[in-house]
Structure 1
Amino acid sequence: MPGQPRRRLLLIPVALEVWGDPIEHSLSPAMHRAAYALLGWDWTYGRRRVDEASFPAELASLGAEYRGLSLTMPLKRVAFAAAAERDARATLTGAANTLVRAASGWHAFHTDAGGIVAAWAEAGVVAAERARIVGAGATASAALVALAEMGVRQVQVAARRPEAAASLRDLGERLHLRVDAVPLDATDLPPVDVTIATLPGGVSIHETVADRLAAAGGALMDVVYGHWPTDLSRAWDRIGASAQGGAGMLLHQAVLQIRAFASGRVDEPLPREAEVVAVMRRALVGD
């Protein structure tokens, strides 16, 4: 029936949750519940505080009604390890932010990279040649995969500890793109088409450093949300350059999660997907 998830999903109640530690701040319940209400799906979506140590027991305790989970920090790597199957993005990053129950066990997906690609496309950026990633933490891997999908062939990582980018260089080789690393306060920065900042919210960057990154940075996506504006976005604003926060990525990665929950695939659009995106966006911004 159009507008309904697959019939087999209706045989038992469908429960979903977002797990992490901390978890109280998560905006996922509001977005997911808005989407399910629009589609008329009698699905529940809650939140649960789970850390790495308790994750295996919590996962094993789930009843048959649990169709899937959204995972945030610090659970993305343990979720990846717990899966029987993994999609290509999860395999590349070694992390999963989505688990879906399948006949063979839990199927892991990584939707952050797809969320970044979709958010860039929404801002009118569908391709680039050169890019910079600010920060070398876990989110940087998702950013690198997203940039590869956008056709980027050369990426510079600017990090407080350039040696932390070693795993990103290895991932770049698998993605057939060149990755080099420089200190965050490097003075000789080549111009790039886009910059993705992956630093945690609230991290302070000296104005001189931020201005230098902005001058050579093209369009900016700072993936934080709830800490806007950031030091970097202010620098981009000072020169009148394009800057967006992490809300677009958060929205579109959640859309991909719902696709996975509904069909077991992230490339199968939802019924009335444009309306779903709109109602989720309103839930995200609090309208």
Structure 2
Amino acid sequence: MTLRAAVLGHPISHSKSPALHRAAYAYLGVDYAYSATDVTEAALPEFMRRVRDEARADGSWRGLSVTMPLKTAMVAEVDEVRGVARALGVVNTVAFESDAGAPRLVAYNTDVAGIVNALRHAGAAPAPTAAVLGGGGTAAAAIAALKELGSVSAAVFVRDVGRAAEARAASAAVGLPIQVLPLAGAAAAVAAADVVISTLPPRAADTLAGELADLPAGDHYPGRLPGTGGPGVLLDVAYDPWPSRIAAAWQDAGGTVVPGLEMLIYQAVEQVRLFTGLGQAMPAGVIDVMCDAVGAPRRVF
């Protein structure tokens, strides 16, 4: 029997998740069909009802990758939320388990691990001073990731300071104090951070990119940070188009840039572990074929 998994979101045609997952399953020699399915938030309950019916009928479903705008709405559609996802109220992964022969849907958040591993691989400083751009579901994962990396606080820059509920909830849940500030005029503060995580949609940080490019070389400048002994790291979770304007401005100034594709790869590795049930027994070579599938450099450890 061919087993099934899919990535859900709206829009979804740009997603690289199918390439990543299909490469992994081919390498592992397991018969999985992985598709991209466009689902709006309004359509999610009916879609999940159909998925449950199909899982009950033939047991073929193994997992769902969940992207925007469904990361919060999916919480109401599963039977259990585990790990950091329970604290955040934001999920990006649903694994199918069997409970007395019936499907049991269990949700996780692998975005946190994706961010942590992408930043560590890029050489981010331990216990970094930190800034997050955006205040939604991915920003919540970023706040949890910064807590794991040892940050003691974070500045969260948003377009509307009245619309950062998910970031504030994540702060309370993981115990990382945040200050929510307007994105406008944030360039100097952003440039001074050891780690910056942009969770904004493509092009939403273009104005900030221009402000960064206009900063004078000196006390607050990416790659020339006083007292750090090295460049700051920018992770931009948007990966299409690439490079984004903010990534280009950061790199031009000497900073280290981590494309969102890196986060996507690392979170997908965790999803494959959950969907296949291999856990830590998954062969190390899987990540290399996943990198090959999306044109990313292979890992060097």
Say whether the fold is shared (TM-score over 0.5). yes
Q: CA deviation at 1:187?
A: 6.7
SS in 1 for 2:280: coil
Q: CA deviation at 1:214?
A: 5.1
Q: CA deviation at 1:176?
A: 2.0
- What is aligned with 2:127? 128
| Residues 47-126 of structure 1 aligned to structure 2 (within 5 Å) | 47-62=36-51, 63=54, 64-104=59-99, 105-125=104-124
Change (3 A) 1:232 1:207: closer
- What is aligned with 1:174? 173
* Residues 236-287 of structure 1, C-alpha deviations (whole Å, 9 max, x = no match): 1232111121010000111011111122x8xx324312x1101001111289
Letter in 1 for 2:287: V
1:25 aligns with 2:14: yes
Out of 234, 239, 244, the residue aligned to residue 258 of structure 2 is 244
Out of 208, 211, 215, the residue aligned to residue 209 of structure 1 is 211
1:283 aligns with 2:293: yes
Q: CA deviation at 1:193?
A: 1.5
- Residues 98 and 257 in structure 1, CA contact (< 8 A), matched pair in contact too: yes
- What is aligned with 1:220? 234
Distance 1:29 1:92 in 2: 28
Q: CA deviation at 1:92?
A: 2.3
Distance 1:116 1:183 in 2: 23
- Residues 129 and 154 in structure 1, CA contact (< 8 A), matched pair in contact too: no
Letter in 2 for 1:150: L
Moved more, 178-187 or 252-261: 178-187
Letter in 1 for 2:294: L
Letter in 2 for 1:23: I
Letter in 2 for 1:145: A
* Residues 4-36 of structure 1, C-alpha deviations (whole Å, 9 max, x = no match): xxxxxxxx5311111122121111111111111
Distance 2:268 2:40 in 1: 21
**Structure 1: gaps of 5 or more residues:** 1-11
Change (3 A) 1:135 1:214: farther
Letter in 2 for 1:109: Y
Q: CA deviation at 1:93?
A: 2.2
Moved more, 146-155 or 184-193: 184-193
- What is aligned with 2:198? 197
- Residues 10 and 39 in structure 2, CA contact (< 8 A), matched pair in contact too: yes
Distance 1:56 1:278 in 2: 36
* Residues 116-148 of structure 1, C-alpha deviations (whole Å, 9 max, x = no match): 111112112262232011122321111111111
Change (3 A) 1:72 1:173: closer
- Residues 214 and 232 in structure 1, CA contact (< 8 A), matched pair in contact too: no
Aligned residues: CA RMSD: 2.3
- Residues 218 and 241 in structure 1, CA contact (< 8 A), matched pair in contact too: yes
Moved more, 238-247 or 253-262: 238-247
SS in 1 for 2:168: helix
- What is aligned with 1:5? none
- Residues 8 and 67 in structure 2, CA contact (< 8 A), matched pair in contact too: yes
What's the TM-score once normalised by structure 1's chain length?
0.86
What's the TM-score once normalised by structure 2's chain length?
0.83
- Residues 131 and 155 in structure 1, CA contact (< 8 A), matched pair in contact too: yes
SS in 2 for 1:277: helix
Q: CA deviation at 1:235?
A: 2.1
Change (3 A) 1:16 1:237: same
- What is aligned with 1:44? 33
SS in 1 for 2:74: helix
- What is aligned with 2:228? none
- Residues 136 and 166 in structure 2, CA contact (< 8 A), matched pair in contact too: no
Moved more, 118-127 or 196-205: 118-127
Distance 2:37 2:61 in 1: 13
Letter in 2 for 1:33: R
SS in 1 for 2:72: helix
Q: CA deviation at 1:209?
A: 2.4
Distance 1:109 1:186 in 2: 33
- Residues 153 and 176 in structure 1, CA contact (< 8 A), matched pair in contact too: no
SS in 1 for 2:164: helix
- Residues 3 and 62 in structure 2, CA contact (< 8 A), matched pair in contact too: yes
Distance 1:34 1:172 in 2: 36
> Percent of aligned positions with the same letter in both sequences?
36
